[in-house]
Amino acid sequence: MEFFKFELRFWTRGFMVYVFLGIVALLFGFATGSDNVQVGSAIGNTYRNAPYVIMQYYVAAGLLAALMVSAIYDSAASRDFATKFSDVLFSKPIGKWNYLIGRFSAATLVAIIPSLGILVGMVVAKWFSSMDAERWGPIRWDAHALGILVFVIPNTLLVGSVVFAIAAWTRNTMYSFLGVLLLMVAYGVSQAVLSDLSNEYWAMLIDPLGGAPYSVLTKYWTVDQRNNWCLPMSGILFLNRAIWFCVALAVFALASWRFSFATGRVRGGIEVKGALVPEVEAQAGLIEWPRVVPQPSWFSQLRSCVRLDVFAVMRTPAFIVVLCAAMLNTTIALFVGATEGYGLSSFPVTYKMVDLVRGSLFGFLIPVITYFVGVVVWRDRDSKIQEIVGATPVPNSVFVVSRFISLLTVIMTILVCTILLSCSVQLYYGYNRLQPRVYALELIVIEALRFGFFIVMAMLAHTFSPNKYVGYFAFIVLIILNAFLWPWLRIDSIMVRFGRLPTYIYSDMFGFAPYSGAIVAHAIYWMAGAAIALWICSVALHRGVPRSIKARLFEGLSSASSKSKGFVSAAALVMLLQGSWLVYNTQFLNTFVGSVEEEKRRVRYENAYSNLENIPQPRVTSIQYEIEIYPETRNMRMRGKQTILNKSDVPIEVFYINVPSTLKTSLVIPNAKLELDEKDLAFQTYRMHPAMEPGQSLEMTFEVQSETRGVENRVSNPEIVQNGTFFNNSLAPHFGYDPDRRIMDPNIRKKYKLAPADTVPELTRDCGVACLSHYVALDADWVDVETVISTSMDQIAVAPGSLLEKWTTGGRNYFKYKLDHPSLNFYSFISARYEVDRSKAGDVDIEVYYHPEHKWNVPRMSQAVKAALDYCVTEFGPYRHKQARIIEFPRVASFAQAFPGTMPYSESIGFIAKMDKPDDIDMVYYVVAHEMAHQWWAHQVIGARMQGATLLSETLAQYTALMIMRKEYGPDMMHKFLRYEMDLYLRARGAERQKERPLISVDPNQGYIHYRKGSVALYYLAEMIGEQRINSALKNIIESYAYKGPPYPNSHVLVDRLRKQTPEELQYLIKDLFEDITIFANRTIDAKASKQEDGKYLVKLEVECSKYKADDKGLETECGMDDWMEVGAFANPEAGQRYGALLHRERVQLKSGKHQLEFTVAQKPYQAGIDPRNFLIDRMPDDNMKKVDVD
């Protein structure tokens, strides 16, 4: 008791605990009260203080708290030894258990305090936040209590017992932190394991902090459930907590049992300090010593200092410990990172490895630098040798440069090791395209520069601080200021953010080319800046007795040599010249719009012009392009001659035209006078004299120039590059008010007092004006396009349609393309140094344009194109283009997109995908099939611009791709694929920012519905009514609507036809799948089987089912059911397989509630249950099947 009280008093009187509490409260207070700070995953529409968020914060705090907790326990365990008080204390008659338990329980109590900061922060944030009241729920004390009980207390005990044990054992703080780091690595492993759906169970158990079971169990919670539910401590969460609680107790008990007062150590503990050196007496004899006149040399002094400083860091236990943890983490990340979600592997390409290194290593390197800059700067003082060293004839500059170089050397050493590690991982995966140049430029040049600037900033902070701790604090303040002050002041120029280089993206296609100029220019500028900063460090160096910064600066400045002054003047001159050049380049040659300004412009646009939304405007009917691409200079000129037609029945007096905001544009319109030119809004109005009569057509021309001038603050137009130019016709001017330029985020809309808005109009069955345009292009229907496109000699340029002609003039390649069939006014222009793979499917040319180094999946791609063509032509209708092209483009974006006859595909997805395991999902095949399907579903039938439009394009493309894949890979593979689709759908529901809609009225931005849920729904429907019935509905749609409109079809067109194809007893499916949000809760309670006399098995099942309908916030209400459900049984799976052979399946009609079922199977069943193949949307898919008890 005495020890308990004493320990408690020690902490409550100190300030550390309160500082910790304050940090946690601030962090989580801001995370709760501000949209700018986010902890854990995004919470979308959920209340800021929902119970789900509260619990998530207690989970998220686990890692942060672990560090604080370990500091507290470590101190409790080793303070007596560190202060040598142990000699006094242990001579007293005290009980060992008394001592240990007293200390430990008090430390536990204290260590819980910091985590209470979450409670404080969240409760206080509600009052201080400027957010709307409707984004807040009531304060949920029960969730806080549960969070503390389930996460904070067990985690504190676990971290505490490990630290306490290690500290009592080794008496060395460093090893305690190593223990904590190992726990963190265990956490990291569990997170990595979690990314594969089939490992969920084990991942949930091995996460020592309980985060994995929490996130898995709540992953499908909807907004409503997140707002109202507290996850009870039961099931696997309880198991996880129990396991780790026992681990904690066992560790503590073991350490206590081995602890002994006699030596003040745990028996078998580690001897930390080296033994004293045996005494050697001075001898009296006279030995002359060499006397030499010193000739100090700057470089040999520097070399010696660097050597010692590097050693000082690298031989510190702290460094070794952290380095080991970092390398372990990076190794795991590298090995695991090669496998992405969807059970898909990709080639471990170098840029990917570099990104993995950034993600896994830098989190360690930044604290390492922060800590060791302090260590190195204050090392002479800390080891009390500063007077000796200070009295040597070493110029200050040697110390400063040495510290800088040493820290950089340490970082470089780690980076080089990591590069070797990455290369080994690449080789391990049988990938031998190692790209040392990319590694070198990314990690050794660019990252080393950034780290260099970071080090300089830290050294500056320490130079201006009277001691190490103030230095650390000052540095952190400096970092925060450098990161947040400028955005807050609305200054977007990176020239004020110390050490900031422009953002860039490496691509195998263009290297760093579009960015290299800006990077080099800023690097020179900041290198000069860093030189000045180092010079200041050297002038104001801490040397000799401690003095104020003023005194040091004064003396340093007055005694600076002319060489030193020359150096700083030169650096200042470079910075000034380079700075002015940069200002000229970024502010005058180029302009950039800050993010806030951009927002304001969009608000102004909406406020000023939204009333024009339905005003008739001319529509484009045909365009002839002349496009010149100059890859070397990143310039582009696009001239278009287009025919426009007044399709409305009123004369058009005014043209409203959106022009590209960043490009130089000129328009020539006959009979038109420029009336208004809103440059900021990139919006022009032209008055027509005379007005354009209904049915009248005109020819107008436009010219758009993209010109790259000097370097920019942020590289704009990354679509026009040295190799891999890819842009679409949205660069051309277009008519009418463009609703896509509105801000759609509901919270930002509220901030600017804009009324809530939907992306597109509501779905209406009988639509008038709303069905007159489709959702892809507002100012055109079906257009003819002809293009003459030119590029440099070594590149191929591609435009929509058939290549009619190809020639060379003036050292440039020219190509003439023409669309074979009028198409949507939505197509791309591309130019790069391509290799082309050509083949034929009937009359259609299949062409894959690819970067020569990315040839791996090219054959699969053209195979998939053929399979898709085959399927779609047979099932839906003819393909109207004479070619199908897949074209690789750089990883500035990572998607694939379908344009008429052309499918640009990012280098970062299918081109690097790798399939070597038999159960890998063939993403290449899937994506190509999806994009090919768009040639029918979007490019032939396009939905009217209203909700549900993407059901006709994206969902049908998904469906088509699934059917094509099923043909190739069989239904088992689809089962695996659909599990991911289902998972993604259910997960995304909780993060919905507006309303979850049913499929029929899906919003174009709700990808999780039109792709993910769409896949699941249509696959199930195909399963229930048959693929043929669906396809005949689809064929009918093609027949009625292909290349037709306006008016354009809406989603009722599809749903009505499907309803017609659905037999009477399954009609409920149409409502459940398309018109409502339907969720099931099906489970198998019991599964038994007994062998019959005929050798067959009689399976007896007890199942329970219920069906729910959810509203747009995810509030579920049970509804009665009388549905056809599948029941069945699987055989024992073969080794390495997840499912055994399907032994039996039958469809039975079930009402809500429990049911007894029986069937016989020929083989011994392994698993049996309801909805065995997880067709239905079920929040707990894993309890559908149960292992069968066989008598």
Size of the site for other proteins (CB under 8 A): 53
User: For residues 620 and 858, what is the distance between their CA atoms, to the nearest angstrom?
Assistant: 36
* Residue 394 interacting with other proteins (CB under 8 A): yes
Q: Facing residues of 656 across strands?
A: 685
Q: Confirm if 520 and 479 have CB atoms less than 8 A apart.
A: no
What DSSP state is assigned to residue 613?
T
In the region spanning residues 190 to 249, those forming contacts with other proteins, defined by CB under 8 A, are none
Query: Using the rule CB under 8 A, which residue among 276, 489, 793, 1135 binds other proteins?
Result: 276
Q: Burial-class residue 862 by CB neighbours within 10 Å (0-12, 13-18, 19+).
A: buried
Query: Using the rule CB under 8 A, which residue among 42, 282, 489, 793 binds other proteins?
Result: 282
239 vs 551 by CB, closer to other proteins: 551
For residue 374, the one-letter residue type is G
465 vs 790 by CB, closer to other proteins: 465
Distances (CA, A) of 583 to 156, 717, 951: 52, 20, 49
CB of 272 to other proteins, least distance (A): 12
381 vs 975 by CB, closer to other proteins: 381
Length of the chain, in residues: 1191
13 vs 291 by CB, closer to other proteins: 291
354 vs 541 by CB, closer to other proteins: 541
* Residue 400 interacting with other proteins (CB under 8 A): no
Q: Confirm if 851 and 888 have CB atoms less than 8 A apart.
A: yes
398 vs 672 by CB, closer to other proteins: 398
284 vs 755 by CB, closer to other proteins: 284
CB of 521 to other proteins, least distance (A): 38
Question: Helix/strand/coil (H, E, C) string of 957-984?
Answer: HHHHHHHHHHHHHCHHHHHHHHHHHHHH
Output helix, strand, coil percentages for the chain, rounded to the nearest 5. 50, 20, 30
CB of 465 to other proteins, least distance (A): 17
Query: Using the rule CB under 8 A, which residue among 13, 92, 315, 563 binds other proteins?
Result: 315
The whole-angstrom distance between residue 667's C-alpha and the CA centroid of its chain comes to 41
Query: Using the rule CB under 8 A, which residue among 392, 607, 874, 1040 binds other proteins?
Result: 392
Residues with Cβ within 8 Å of residue 841, at least 6 apart in sequence? 865, 866, 869, 870, 884
Q: Confirm if 829 and 719 have CB atoms less than 8 A apart.
A: no
CB of 550 to other proteins, least distance (A): 10
How do beta strands 1083-1091 and 1189-1190 pair? Answer: parallel
374 vs 452 by CB, closer to other proteins: 374
In the region spanning residues 1079 to 1138, those forming contacts with other proteins, defined by CB under 8 A, are none
Closest CA to 1180 of 238, 244, 236: 236
Query: Using the rule CB under 8 A, which residue among 139, 205, 332, 389 binds other proteins?
Result: 389
Give the interface segment with other proteins, choosing from 393-401, 428-436, 851-859, 1035-1043 (CB under 8 A). Answer: 393-401
The whole-angstrom distance between residue 718's C-alpha and the CA centroid of its chain comes to 20
133 vs 292 by CB, closer to other proteins: 292
CB of 339 to other proteins, least distance (A): 42
* Residue 1052 interacting with other proteins (CB under 8 A): no
What DSSP state is assigned to residue 507?
B
CB of 298 to other proteins, least distance (A): 10
281 vs 766 by CB, closer to other proteins: 281
315 vs 753 by CB, closer to other proteins: 315
CB of 281 to other proteins, least distance (A): 6
Q: How many CB atoms lie within 10 A of CB 399?
A: 24
3 state DSSP class of 665: strand
Q: How many CB atoms lie within 10 A of CB 1140?
A: 17
Q: Is the peptide bond prior to 1046 cis by the omega test (within 30 degrees of 0)?
A: yes
3 state DSSP class of 725: strand
Q: Facing residues of 668 across strands?
A: 701
CB of 371 to other proteins, least distance (A): 16
91 vs 558 by CB, closer to other proteins: 558
Query: Using the rule CB under 8 A, which residue among 395, 694, 761, 1007 binds other proteins?
Result: 395
For residue 143, the one-letter residue type is A
CB of 383 to other proteins, least distance (A): 5
Q: Burial-class residue 18 by CB neighbours within 10 Å (0-12, 13-18, 19+).
A: middle
- Could you give the string, one character per residue 527-556, with x where binding to other proteins holds by CB under 8 A and - elsewhere? ----------------xxx--x--x---x-
Q: Report phi then psi at 389, rounded to 5.
A: -70, -40
Q: Report phi then psi at 1187, rounded to 5.
A: -70, 140
CB of 858 to other proteins, least distance (A): 57
User: For residues 212 and 206, what is the distance between their CA atoms, to the nearest angstrom?
Assistant: 8
CB of 278 to other proteins, least distance (A): 7
Query: Using the rule CB under 8 A, which residue among 2, 132, 387, 794 binds other proteins?
Result: 387
For residue 644, the one-letter residue type is I
Q: Tokens 């959106």 correspond to what residue?
A: 658
* Residue 467 interacting with other proteins (CB under 8 A): no
In the region spanning residues 284 to 313, those forming contacts with other proteins, defined by CB under 8 A, are 284, 286-287, 289-297, 300-301, 303-305, 307-308, 311-312
CB of 714 to other proteins, least distance (A): 46
CB of 394 to other proteins, least distance (A): 5
In the region spanning residues 346 to 385, those forming contacts with other proteins, defined by CB under 8 A, are 379, 383-385
Q: Confirm if 494 and 704 have CB atoms less than 8 A apart.
A: no
551 vs 596 by CB, closer to other proteins: 551
319 vs 630 by CB, closer to other proteins: 319
* Residue 559 interacting with other proteins (CB under 8 A): yes
366 vs 385 by CB, closer to other proteins: 385
User: For residues 761 and 400, what is the distance between their CA atoms, to the nearest angstrom?
Assistant: 64
Q: What is the CA radius of gyration of the chain?
A: 35
CB of 563 to other proteins, least distance (A): 12
Give the interface segment with other proteins, choosing from 269-277, 568-576, 834-842, 860-868 (CB under 8 A). Answer: 269-277
Q: Strand order of the sheet with strand 1122-1130?
A: 1142-1151, 1122-1130, 1167-1170, 1185-1187
In the region spanning residues 411 to 430, those forming contacts with other proteins, defined by CB under 8 A, are none
Query: Which tokens belong to 398?
Result: 């040697």
363 vs 544 by CB, closer to other proteins: 544
390 vs 1047 by CB, closer to other proteins: 390
Give the interface segment with other proteins, choosing from 389-397, 663-671, 798-806, 919-927 (CB under 8 A). Answer: 389-397
User: For residues 847 and 834, what is the distance between their CA atoms, to the nearest angstrom?
Assistant: 11
How do beta strands 802-809 and 734-735 pair? Answer: unpaired
Query: Using the rule CB under 8 A, which residue among 280, 755, 793, 1135 binds other proteins?
Result: 280
Q: Burial-class residue 574 by CB neighbours within 10 Å (0-12, 13-18, 19+).
A: middle
Q: How many CB atoms lie within 10 A of CB 874?
A: 10
CB of 388 to other proteins, least distance (A): 6
User: For residues 695 and 649, what is the distance between their CA atoms, to the nearest angstrom?
Assistant: 8
CB of 538 to other proteins, least distance (A): 14
345 vs 386 by CB, closer to other proteins: 386
Residues that bind other proteins (CB under 8 A): 273-284, 286-287, 289-297, 300-301, 303-305, 307-308, 311-312, 315, 379, 383-385, 387-395, 543-545, 548, 551, 555, 559
